Structure 1
C-alpha cells in the first residue's frame, strides 16, 4: 500500500499590513543586538539631528545676532523661517551665508546617515530573512558596495520630483495667464480663482508624489539586494509593487504620519519655549529630546525592515521568491530564525499566492 504524501503546512496569513509589520518585528527581534548596534551607529544620530535642529537653528540665530548687536537679538530671532507668523520680507532679511552653509551641511549630514543606515540595515534584514549569518562587519562593508548606487538612485528620484514640481508650476502659470487673457484684466493673488487654482495644483501635486512614493517604495531595497542603480530600481519597484499597492500605501501612510507627528510635536514645543542657551540644563527638555529621538529611531528601523519584508512578499506574488529559495536551499520550504529561541518560522512559498 502506497504511503500518502505528507500534508503540506497550512498557507501563511495574507500579506497585509499587519503581516508585514509582524514579520519585520520578528526579524528585528531575532538579531536584536545587531540591529541595536546599527541603530546606535546611524539611526540615533540621524533622529537626534532631526529632533534638535529647530532648537539649534533658533539658538544659532540668537548667538549670531548677539555677537553683532545684542540689543536686536530677539528681533532677529523672530525672523526665523521656523516661525510661520512672520512676513516673507522679514524672513528673507534674516538669511545670510552662515545660515546657508549650516543648512547645506545639515542636509548633507542627514543624507549620508540615511544612506549608511539604509545600506547596512537593508543588507542585514535581507540576510536575516534568508537565514544567513547576520554580522556587523558584513553590514558595514555593504555601505561601500551600495553607497554610490543609492546616491545615484536618490539623485534620479529627486530629478524626477523636481521636474514634476516645475511642470506643475508652469502649468499653473499658463492657466492663470490664459484666464487673464479671457477676462481681460489681471487676477489678484487674493482672488478666489487664484487661491482655488493654487489649492487644486497643490492637491494634484501631492497625489502624484504620493503615487510615486508607493510605486518607488522598494527602490532602496532593490539597490541593495539586486545591485541596481539609477532609474532601474524605480522601474523594478513599480513592477514588483503591482498587486501590493494597498499594503505599500498603508506602510507609507503609517510611518509617514507617525514620524511627522513626532517631528511636528518637538518643533512646536521648542518654538514656543524660550531659547537662552541653557535648554540642556532643564530636565523636561532633555527628556523630551531623548524620548523623541529614540521613538523616531525605532520607527526608522521598523520602516526599513518593513520595506525589505514587503519586497520579499512582492517577489513571491510575482513567482520570483520560490526560485531563489530553491536555488539557495534546494528545497521548497525554508525555516527563518525569527526569534531569540530560534523556533522555526516556516514560510510556504508555494501557498504565498493564495
Structure 2
C-alpha cells in the first residue's frame, strides 16, 4: 500500500519539526557551511571594482579573463568560485544526512554529519558535473538554433519562442532531478544514476516538487538580487560604514541562510515521502520529533 500524497505545507511543517528538534546541530552546520556563502554573496561584490556588472558570478568571469596579467586580482575570483561550489556541497551532504536520520528519530551527531561529507563530496561533485554537462549541451543546441533563425524575417519572434522553450526544458529537468542530491547522500549513488532515480521518485508528486522549486528558487533569486543591488547602491566598501547597509546586510544574509537550510532539509523530507509513495518503506512507522521533544509516531502505510 502506498502512502498519501504529501502537501507542500506538510513538507515544510515536518522540516520545521526536525530542525527545531535538533536546533543546535543544524545551527552549527548552517554557520559552518551556509552562512559564509550567503554572506559572501554580499561582500564579494564590494571587493570588485566594476559597478556595471551586478552578478558575482559574472564578476568572477570578468576578472578572470580581463586581469590575466594581475595574479592577485585573478586569484580572488578563482578562490571564490571554488568556495561557492565546495561549501554548498558540504552543506548538502551534512544537512541531508542529518535530516534523514532526524526524520526517523535516530541520533544526529555532528561528527557523523562531518563524516558524511567525506563520503559524499566527490559523488555529489561528479553528479553536479554530469548535470551541468547535460544542461550545457542543451543550451548549446538551443543557442545554435537561435543563430539559425537570427536572420529570418520574424527573427525576434522565433528567438523569444526558443528562449521560452529553453526555459521550459531547463525547469522540467530541474524538477526531474530535484532529489538527485538526496539520492547521492542517502543511497550512495553518483553520476547518471541519481538523475534517473530522482526522475522515478518524483512521479506523482510533480505539483509538490514544482511548488518547492518555485518557492525556494524565488526567494534565493530575490535575496541574491537584493544583496547585489545593496552593494551597487552602497558605493562599494565605503558604503559599508553606513548602519543602514550593515543592517540590511545582516537581514539579507540571515534570510538567505534560512531559505537555503530549509531547501536542503525539505528536499530530504520530500525524498522520504516519495519513497513511501512508491511503496519503499523503511519501516511501518516513522517518527517525527516535535518541539516539546516528545516523539509521536506517524503511520505512513
Give the distance between the partners of 1:30 and 1:345, measured in 2 at CA: 13
Aligned to 2:99: 125
Distance of 1:197 and 1:55 partners within structure 2: 39
1:74-153 map, 5 Å: 77=50, 80-82=52-54, 95-97=66-68, 98=70, 100-153=74-127
Per the TM alignment, residue 105 of structure 1 is displaced from its structure 2 partner at its CA by: 2.2
Q: Distance in 2 between matches of 1:218 and 1:294?
A: 25
Segments of 5+ residues of structure 1 without an aligned counterpart are: 1-10, 62-76, 84-90, 180-186, 188-192, 326-331
1:13 Cα deviation from its structure 2 partner: 7.4
Q: 2:242 aligns with which of 260, 282, 291?
A: 282
Name which one, 1 or 2, has greater alpha-carbon Rg: 1
Superposed, 1:309-348 pairs within 5 Å as 309-321=269-281, 324-325=282-283, 332-336=284-288, 338-348=289-299
Given that 2:124 and 2:190 are in contact with CA atoms closer than 8 Å, whether structure 1 keeps it comes out as: yes
The 5 A counterparts of 1:32-51 are: 32-51=23-42
In 2, the alpha carbon distance for the partners of 1:215 and 1:12 equals: 21
Q: Secondary structure at the match of 1:272?
A: helix
- 2: CA distance, partners of 1:196 / 1:54: 35
Residue number in structure 2 paired with 1:87:
none
Query: TM-score if structure 2 supplies the norm length?
Result: 0.90
Contact between 1:150 and 1:220, CA under 8 Å: does it hold in 2?
yes
Kindly state the Cα deviation for residue 303 of structure 1 after the two structures are TM-superposed.
Answer: 0.5
Q: Supply the RMSD in Å over aligned alpha carbons.
A: 2.1
How far does the alpha carbon of each residue in 1:245-267 deviate from its partner, in whole angstroms, 9 at most, with x for none? Answer: 10000001000101111111222
Distance in 1 between residues matched to 2:140 and 2:118, nearest whole Å: 34
Deviation at 1:129, TM superposition (A): 0.9
Separation (CA, whole Å) in 2 of partners of 1:151 and 1:316? 27
For normalisation by structure 1, the TM-score amounts to: 0.77
Partner of 2:59: none
2:135 to 158, 161, 166: 161
Paired with 1:233 and 1:26, the residues of 2 have a C-alpha distance of 27
Q: Return the alpha-carbon distance in structure 1 between the equivalents of residues 292 and 107 of structure 2.
A: 16
Residue 14 of structure 1 and its aligned partner are, at CA, apart by 4.8
Give 1:194-209 correspondences, 5 Å limit: 194-209=155-170
Provide the rounded CA distance (Å) in 2 between the counterparts of 1:320 and 1:159: 31
* Segments of 4+ moved more than 6 angstroms: none
- What is the deviation of 1:170? 1.4
Which residue does the alignment assign to 1:328?
Answer: none
> Deviation string for 1:189-237 (max 9, x for gaps)?
xxxx222222211111111100011000000000000000000000000
* C-alpha contact (below 8 Å) 1:24/1:309 kept by paired residues: yes
